[in-house]
């Protein structure tokens, strides 16, 4: 009995020793920590600017709101971002990811980013590339970024950029961009900056971005802009950006303003904006609707209900009484009118469409003989639902049953979608 106990103890001790020797190193390699952020710091400067989460929240709060999950390894390197950010807000391809999950991998001199959808399939990010590979020098300075497709072949982004190259020049980081033919590319398709110089703050946020010539001297572009500057508050909110000439004076951009001040709520959502001219005089301001507090529509007015009924019935009256002008009034020009049909050649049911233009022509002559409807047509309408500026209506006539969608634009209700079928169901296959 004693020998059996000793043998069992030996086996258990041996197993535990093997477990200790085998598992700790592996598990340590997979140790991760997580942080949750409502937003990422806004960036319209360069992919050289590091990703930075702002407005940190805890895991419990994250379950109830839009957010990003940042995962780090034991070296405190960012290894994964999961994108649960669903609230609408101002976005920029340099400030967002676009993919559901971004995976980061590291070597001594490279950082690779790969993008995945919710099903775990490879996808493109907001720059419409499949893989990004950053390169570092021996001091940890990022000096290159290249884009690759699913076959690991070089590719261009949606801005026709295949790679970025960065170097240091005094206090600035100099950026150059090239396409697949190694030709220089502007900073973006809509902004005329070629070689640029990035000036950073100590916290890693971009302070200014300069347009440079080949000698790396600041120069104005064709509309007089030599730089733009960014200001962030203590929470990381992007509270101001402005455009300047070579003298550092405010100057208007192609959108006809020189500076934009922005105000955010305590959760980091944009609530106010104010644009200024080159003299720092206010030219426009606006309030932005809250994305966290939704104001529901008030009950519709009797006037709206009457107009919806008139427009729905007006469609049938225009057909019956040959009134093309009325047909133009009741239908939106983007009308989608559909019904079921049968393709005899393919021997299957199909969807047939009628355009806005065809409906106008039908109103001119389709019932010219007066035999398409009974002498006293039976037109019945039932409003199924109205919400603010959209409505659903059921229309029943002698011949058809139809479902209509109406939309209110420019203070006028019109039919924009129409789905119909014959009232007599025997006209369709069982």
Give the per-residue pLDDT at 96. Answer: 77
Q: What's the DSSP call for residue 108?
A: S
Over residues 235-259, the pLDDT tens digits come to: 999 999 999 999 999 999 999 999 9
Q: Which residues contact 67 (CB under 8 A, 6 or more apart)?
A: 36, 37, 38, 57, 84, 85
268 and 317 inside one domain = no
User: What is the band of 30 on the pLDDT scale with cuts at 50, 70, 90?
Assistant: low
Domain boundary among 237, 264, 287: 287
pTM: 0.76
5, part of any domain: no
User: What is the band of 27 on the pLDDT scale with cuts at 50, 70, 90?
Assistant: very low
Give the per-residue pLDDT at 86. Answer: 86
Q: Which residues contact 62 (CB under 8 A, 6 or more apart)?
A: 36, 69, 84
Q: Are 103 and 80 in contact (CB under 8 A)?
A: yes
Q: How far apart are CA 262 and CA 287, in angstroms?
A: 10
Domain boundary among 257, 287, 317: 287
Give the per-residue pLDDT at 2. Answer: 45
222, part of any domain: yes
Instruction: Select from 112, 163, 178, 173 the least CA-distant residue to 141.
Output: 173
Helix axis angle, 302-320 to 356-365, nearest 10°: 60
Q: How far apart are CA 105 and CA 128, in angstroms?
A: 19
217 and 361 inside one domain = no
Residue 13 Cα distances to 4, 23, 25, angstroms: 14, 15, 20
280 and 404 inside one domain = no
Over residues 2-22, the pLDDT tens digits come to: 454 555 544 444 444 444 334
Percent of the chain with pLDDT over 90: 83
Q: How far apart are CA 329 and CA 309, in angstroms?
A: 13
Residue 320 pLDDT > 60: yes
Give the per-residue pLDDT at 212. Answer: 98
Q: How far apart are CA 320 and CA 393, in angstroms?
A: 20
251 and 308 inside one domain = no
**Parent domain of 190:** 30-287
182 and 52 inside one domain = yes
Q: Are 394 and 386 in contact (CB under 8 A)?
A: no
Locate all alpha helices (DSSP H) within 122-209, ordered by sequence.
Answer: none
Q: How far apart are CA 239 and CA 263, in angstroms?
A: 6
Q: How far apart are the two ends of the chain, measured CA to CA in Å?
A: 81
In angstroms, how far is CA 142 from the centroid of its own chain?
28
Domain boundary among 287, 314, 331: 287
358, part of any domain: yes
239 and 312 inside one domain = no
Give the per-residue pLDDT at 18. Answer: 42
Residue 228 pLDDT > 90: yes
Backbone angles phi, psi at 199, to 5 degrees: -110, 125
Over residues 349-373, the pLDDT tens digits come to: 999 999 999 999 999 999 999 899 9
270 and 323 inside one domain = no
102 and 162 inside one domain = yes
Number of domains, the chain: 2
Give the per-residue pLDDT at 111. Answer: 97
**What's the rounded mean pLDDT across residues 345-352?**
91
53 and 155 inside one domain = yes
Give the per-residue pLDDT at 94. Answer: 84
Q: What's the DSSP call for residue 250?
A: B
* Torsion sign (Cα): 152, 153, 157, 161: positive
252, part of any domain: yes
Give the per-residue pLDDT at 20. Answer: 39
Q: Domain containing 341 — which CATH number? A: 3.10.450.50
Q: Are 419 and 341 in contact (CB under 8 A)?
A: no
246 and 306 inside one domain = no
- To the nearest whole number, what is the mean pLDDT of the chain? 91
Over residues 148-181, the pLDDT tens digits come to: 999 999 999 999 999 999 999 999 999 999 999 9
Q: How far apart are CA 25 and CA 181, in angstroms?
A: 46
Q: How far apart are CA 227 and CA 244, in angstroms?
A: 5
352 and 259 inside one domain = no
Over residues 91-134, the pLDDT tens digits come to: 788 877 889 999 999 998 999 999 999 999 999 999 999 999 99
In angstroms, how far is CA 135 from the centroid of its own chain?
28
Over residues 270-292, the pLDDT tens digits come to: 999 999 999 999 999 999 988 88
Over residues 321-337, the pLDDT tens digits come to: 999 999 999 999 999 99
Q: What is the DSSP string of 138-159?
A: TTS-EEEEEEE-TTS-B---TT
195, part of any domain: yes
Q: Are 399 and 373 in contact (CB under 8 A)?
A: yes
Residue 324 Cα distances to 107, 312, 415, angstroms: 70, 15, 15
How large is the C-alpha radius of gyration of the chain? Answer: 32
Tokens 């009924």 correspond to 309
**What's the rounded mean pLDDT across residues 26-53?**
86
274 and 315 inside one domain = no
Q: Are 116 and 99 in contact (CB under 8 A)?
A: yes
13, part of any domain: no
């Amino acid at each position: 009995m004693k020998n059996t106990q000793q043998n069992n103890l030996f086996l258990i001790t041996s197993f535990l020793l093997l477990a200790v020797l085998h598992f700790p190193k592996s598990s340590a390699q997979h140790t991760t920590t997580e942080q949750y952020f409502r937003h990422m710091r806004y960036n319209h400067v360069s992919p050289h600017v590091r990703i930075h989460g702002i407005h940190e929240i805890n895991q419990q709060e994250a379950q109830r709101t839009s957010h990003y999950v940042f995962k780090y390894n034991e070296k405190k390197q960012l290894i994964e971002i999961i994108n649960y950010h669903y609230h609408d807000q101002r976005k920029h391809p340099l400030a967002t990811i676009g993919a559901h999950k971004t995976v980061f991998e590291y070597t001594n001199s490279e950082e690779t980013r790969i993008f995945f959808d919710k099903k775990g399939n490879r996808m493109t990010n907001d720059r419409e590339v499949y893989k990004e590979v950053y390169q570092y020098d021996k001091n940890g300075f990022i000096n290159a970024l290249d884009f690759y497709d699913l076959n690991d072949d070089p590719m261009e982004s949606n801005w026709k950029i295949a790679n970025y190259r960065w170097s240091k020049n005094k206090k600035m980081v100099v950026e150059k961009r090239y396409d697949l033919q190694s030709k220089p590319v502007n900073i973006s398709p809509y902004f005329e900056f070629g070689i640029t110089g990035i000036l950073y703050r100590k916290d890693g946020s971009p302070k200014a971005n300069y347009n440079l010539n080949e000698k790396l001297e600041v120069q104005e572009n064709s509309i007089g802009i030599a730089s733009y500057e960014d200001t962030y508050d203590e929470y990381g909110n992007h509270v101001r950006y402005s455009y300047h000439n070579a003298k550092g004076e405010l100057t208007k951009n192609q959108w006809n303003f020189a500076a934009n001040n922005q105000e955010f709520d305590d959760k980091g959502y944009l609530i106010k904006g104010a644009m200024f001219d080159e003299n720092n005089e206010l030219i426009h301001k606006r309030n932005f609707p809250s994305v966290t507090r939704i104001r529901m529509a008030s009950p519709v007015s009797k006037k709206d209900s009457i107009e919806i009924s008139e427009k729905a019935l007006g469609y049938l009256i225009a057909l019956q009484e040959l009134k093309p002008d009325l047909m133009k009034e009741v239908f939106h020009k983007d009308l989608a009118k559909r019904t079921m049909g049968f393709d005899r050649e393919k021997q299957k049911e199909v969807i047939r469409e009628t355009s806005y233009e065809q409906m106008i022509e039908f109103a001119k002559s389709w019932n010219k003989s007066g035999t398409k409807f009974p002498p006293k047509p039976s037109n019945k309408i039932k409003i199924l639902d109205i919400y603010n500026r959209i409505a659903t209506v059921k229309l029943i006539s002698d011949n058809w049953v139809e479902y209509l969608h109406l939309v209110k634009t420019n203070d006028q209700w019109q039919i924009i979608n129409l789905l119909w079928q014959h009232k007599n169901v025997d006209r369709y296959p069982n």
